[in-house]
A and B are shown apart, each in its own frame.
Chain A
Amino acid sequence: MIQQDTKELEERAIFVMREAKTKFKNVAAMWSMGKDSTTMLALARKAFLGKVPFPVIHIDNGIDFPETYAFREELAKKWKLDLIVAKSEIKPELSGFACCGANKTVALKRVMEEHGIDALIVSIRRDEHGIRAKERYMSPRDKEFKWDYKNQPAEIWDDYSSKLDAKGHIRVHPLLDFNEIDIWQYVKKNKVPVNPLYFSRNGLRFRSLGCTHCTVALKSDAKNVDDIIKELESTETEERSGRSQDKEKMYTMEKLRALGYF
């Protein structure tokens, strides 16, 4: 995995977030308390004079890890976040793809409507998945949250041309260029607080965090950020290996994203 120049990545992320804040009336961000969306908040604090100037949304299905909830409370207080918790319901008969689609996406639609949000910052990265690699920095979603990936808008030089249709919204992707290892480099350099579940306990750690149902820990002795960076330099597995929804069948991610998953 290639470590990039974090300064260049940081400038791009700041530019994209400021551009979103300038162009759209009501920006909000998804915050899963994972390393990526927490890094995004650290970047937002740099872009906007030390504070996060938009609400952050946690889609809470009630089955996240206890450590995740504790981390949410602690950081929301420390960084004075405008936290919106959108409760979603887990239906016991659904799992994997159907579960993510039903509970997360439905809850998000509701909260966006309630708050009149027209642009949503989502901390996806190209190297996570072949489908995410095809994203734009700013990408329109229609009122059903669908991603028209076969007809994405031009995004030439610094011109993000995404237009809002009547009831749609724009997804904003400031971290698109970061690799997994760049996130950890950024966390290290900027002392970004992270969820303790990323660090090894009893020989296991989480590399990518979802809910307790779909996330599997991997074997690892990485006990701190330096260990994680070292581990990632020579990894042969994909970051989301422990996320069952990606693996169920071909093109699951494509379907999820087309349906508005983030």
Chain B
Amino acid sequence: MMISRVTLLGHKDHGKSTLIGSLLISTGSVTQERLNDAKKISQQLGRQFEPAYILDSFSEEREGEMTIDITRAQIKYKEHAFEFIDVPGHEELIKNMMSGASYADFALLLVSAKPDEGIRDQTKRHLFLAKMMGIRRIVIAVNKMDTVDYSEARFKEIRKELVAFLTKIGFQKKNLALVPISAYNAQNLIKLEEKMPWYRGEPLLDEIVSLSTKRRADKKGALRVILQGALEGTDMLSGKVIRGTLSAGEGILLPPRESRYTIKEVVVKGRHRKRATAGENLALTLAEPIDFEPRGQVICGLGDDLKATNRVNAILFATKKLGEGTKIKFNGSEISCSVKVDNIIDITSGDTRQGSEIEPLGAGNVTLDLSKVIVAEPFDKLQEMGRFVIYDNGGFAGIGIITS
């Protein structure tokens, strides 16, 4: 069956792993054997049973009571299947969170209702990143309601602030749902809790079902094939159809070249085919010889105005101060670039302000001058054609999405 992927979001210790653990137990999605293991480990550590131990499998995670790296857990509920991607909430582990969130169809945010917890900068940072990465729908679980005596006022206070922030950074109200819960006590997860009679919505998993979505490849849109490389020992190129359908015998373009090429053969999963459609990996031959490195090149249909450029505008999220040797990794190619910051985006308010340097864990609108041309499109038009990862000599430094 089709599985929708849901990334968790939220500040550390607001209950992400505990919630997934509780959902696994409430829906019977964990084997008795793995549940017993988690119980045994809680005992060995001299603690009360902690559902998070079903997911947090490293000794350091269990002993330190924190998630270090992402994991996934699958749940079946009322004929729907979800894969929850658990992510660490700690700031210094944000590259792991981004690795998980980049595979998600939608998100589940955890905010603790505890008076000294609530909405934090890291909560907003995760939401900002989710928006940047193309997530449009968010279910928000206001957790630890048991610690505030199931207070409706506290729930409303958090709701007001969050909805204001989320709409400001571009989410639509109809794509948000808020549910007051206690993850540890499994309250309002699959059935409504009588201690919160003021809550008029559905239990959390039903709200997740209502908002769930699944990214699907568009088979009808204008053709885009991203080439991956040449298949060693053959005369074939490999690639993936990102959008549309590619047919054998069809004329195509490989921008920025102006000449027309012809698709001679299409092979999908080892078999010759008439066509390959969006979502499929393929191998192909061209009728004409090529004199360029295929990796990262994009095939489009005749008459398409897809262009190549060496300058793009982008939103950049940086995990550290950008240093020497900045380069982007875009569709398999590494390209050196210089970054000019146009303005800074305050990710806790969504406002922009003047500035020429992005702080670590901050964002900005930038202009990138690239050492060679790329074939790209705005992220909002086609995600695969408008997203990149950024590196410098010190390693991973952030992500970007192309705006124009």
Chain A residues near B (Cβ < 8 Å) = 2-5, 8, 10-11, 14-15, 18-19, 21-22, 45-50, 53, 126-127, 129-131, 133-134, 136, 149-150, 152-159, 161, 179, 235-238, 241, 250-251, 254
Contact = CB atoms under 8 A, between A and B. Distances in A.
B279 interface: yes
A251 B283 CA distance: 43
Contacts of A158: 384
B396 A14 contact: no
Contacts of A5: 1-3
Contacts of B1: 2-5
A197 to B, nearest CB: 22
B280 A11 contact: yes
Given A49-B234, A134-B70, A161 B58 contact: no
B270 A49 contact: yes
Contacts of A251: 59
Contacts of B280: 11
A48 B231 contact: yes
Contact of B31 (A48, A133, A236): A236
Contacts of A47: 269-270, 281
Nearest to A156: B102
Given A4-B1, A134-B70, A241-B33, 7 more contacts: A2-B3, A10-B269, A48-B270, A154-B99, A156-B399, A157-B389, A254-B59
Most A CB atoms within 10 A — which of B54, B229, B269, B280?
B269
Interface stretch (B71-79, B139-147, B248-256): B71-79
B238 A18 contact: yes
Contacts of B281: 11, 14-15, 18, 47
Contacts, number: 129
A153 B396 contact: yes
A14 B269 contact: yes
A19 B228 contact: yes
A2 B74 contact: yes
Contacts of B99: 136, 154-156
Nearest to A236: B32
Nearest to A45: B270
A46 B232 contact: no
Most A CB atoms within 10 A — which of B54, B96, B267?
B96
A159 B332 CA distance: 7
A155 B267 CA distance: 28
Nearest to A50: B270
A49 B76 contact: no
Nearest to B267: A49
Contacts of B98: 154, 156
Given A47-B281, A126-B72, A152 B96 contact: yes
A22 B228 contact: yes
Contacts of A179: 74
Nearest to B280: A11
Most B CB atoms within 10 A — which of A46, A153, A157, A238?
A157
A21 B232 CA distance: 8
25 contacts: A2-B1, A2-B81, A3-B1, A4-B81, A5-B2, A5-B3, A18-B231, A22-B228, A22-B332, A48-B231, A129-B57, A131-B58, A134-B58, A149-B68, A149-B69, A150-B60, A152-B69, A154-B99, A156-B102, A157-B387, A158-B384, A236-B31, A237-B32, A238-B33, A250-B44
Given A14-B269, A22-B228, A154-B99, A159 B389 contact: yes
B236 interface: yes
A127 B34 CA distance: 11
B159 interface: no
B163 interface: no
A81 to B, nearest CB: 16
A157 B33 contact: no
Most B CB atoms within 10 A — which of A3, A22, A156, A179?
A156
A236 B33 contact: yes
Interface string B56-98: 0111100000001111111010000100000000000001101
Q: Which 5 A-B pairs have the closest CB atoms?
A: A130-B57, A22-B229, A46-B269, A154-B95, A133-B71
B335 interface: no
B41 interface: yes
Contacts of B74: 2, 127, 179
Contacts of B32: 236-237
Nearest to B30: A236
B229 A150 contact: no
Interface string B1-41: 11100000000000000000000000000011110000001
Given A11-B281, A19-B228, A157-B387, A133 B57 contact: yes
A131 B57 contact: yes
Contacts of A131: 57-58
A161 B396 contact: yes
A241 B37 CA distance: 12
Contacts of B3: 2, 4-5
B55 A130 contact: yes
A193 to B, nearest CB: 16
